[in-house]
Amino acid sequence: MNVQVNVNLKPFHTFGIDIPCDFLVEAANVDDVIDAYQNPQWKQLPKLILGKGSNVLFTEPFHGVIITNQLLGKKVTESDKLFHLHIAGGEDWPSLVEWTLSQGIYGLENLALIPGCVGSAPIQNIGAYGVEFKDVCEYVEYLDLDTLTITRLNSDQCLFAYRDSVFKQSLLGKVVIVAVGLKLNKAWKANLSYGPLQAEKDILTTPQAIFDLVCDIRRSKLPDPSVTGNAGSFFKNPVITTENFNRLKTAYPELSGYPMTEGGVKIAAGWLIDRCGLKGHQIGGAQVHPQQALVIVNAGEATSKDILDLAWFIRQTVSHKYGVDLEHEVRFFDSEHETNLNNIFTENHV
């Protein structure tokens, strides 16, 4: 277990902001995670498991222990109709998708280039281009931080919803995801339900073709965090009542909506932000990306305060114009625990 003291987290999260933590532990196996939580010197300190840092904003210096998830390993077994994958939580998600294609295992191609590690995928129930993590999940294994034992939940027990799961609700802060099980059909069938894919259905006849197009679309829409610091889509696409959607649709006929099976209508947060004229809007070093309104970028030496101020301004502007309250998809952590925009601004932390 490698331990570093007073570490700058800039290389460990994709916003690339200079912000320190008191201790950083590189966990190569489950025993390293357990050791970090059992260390008597750190007993009273807050602890945070960090994957690739692709969906995180540190709002203050973290006065605790950051544990980087570096658990690696992939195993494939087969049944009559399915490939069953057991993937360690520290594996890189985009690399996993590419690897499955190289192995002739298909079904993850719509989820190409989503940044982050495998252990983060169930937390957010990542999704893109008509597929969500829940659609391919067989189980999730986690380390219970009270009992220090491994527990397995099947997909239904994970309570997956849009960008949500039990790991963001009742199990938040109580577990560390160490592995996931994926099930992928041997009889591959293209999922072209998402509009831009449907429009190209005649040429999307192979998994590789879908993978290539999804990668092209994502690269054209989203800035590369290795070049320009960002955490991808900053806000969730809001789900509003059918009544509210009809009201907005009357006022703004160009608004599109997607009915949700659990009720309500999902609308595009990027469309709302764009129609508020906020593309390119900048506060300090933080900027709404000029080509993709859903992304906030570190345009140069941004501070956490810059990003928070810009996010709050966006939220207030959209709420004032459309009566829709945006919820951030990026997870915020202050000096000790997870927080959110409302807490930060109503408690005058900024």
CATH number of the domain to which 51 belongs: 3.30.43.10
Of the candidates 329, 331, 336, 338, the residue annotated as catalytic is: 329
Report whether 39 contacts 57 (CB < 8 A). Answer: no
Domain boundary among 162, 194, 218: 218
For the question of residue 109 being annotated catalytic, the response is no
Task: Name the β-bridge partners of 92.
Answer: 117
Of the candidates 120, 155, 165, 233, the residue annotated as catalytic is: 233
Q: State pLDDT tens for residues 143-197.
A: 999 999 999 999 999 999 988 999 999 999 899 999 999 999 999 999 998 878 8
Q: How far apart are CA 167 and CA 140, in angstroms?
A: 10
β-pairing, 47-50 with 62-69? Answer: parallel
User: Measured in Å, how far apart are the chain's first and last C-alpha atoms?
Assistant: 36
Same domain, residue pair 192 and 302: no
Which range of residues forms the domain containing residue 174? Answer: 74-218
Of the candidates 163, 165, 304, 315, the residue annotated as catalytic is: 163
Q: State pLDDT tens for residues 258-293.
A: 998 889 999 999 999 999 999 999 999 999 999 999
Same domain, residue pair 129 and 48: no
Task: Name the β-bridge partners of 77.
Answer: 84
Q: Which amino acid is at 17?
A: I
For the question of residue 218 being annotated catalytic, the response is no
CA angle 252, 257, 259 (to 5 degrees): 145
Same domain, residue pair 274 and 238: yes
Same domain, residue pair 150 and 187: yes
Which has the higher per-residue pLDDT, 251 or 350? Answer: 251
Count of domains in the chain? Answer: 3
The closest alpha carbon to 60, from 312, 341, 350, 313, belongs to 350
CATH number of the domain to which 233 belongs: 3.90.78.10
3-class DSSP state for residue 227?
coil
Same domain, residue pair 236 and 327: yes
Same domain, residue pair 107 and 214: yes
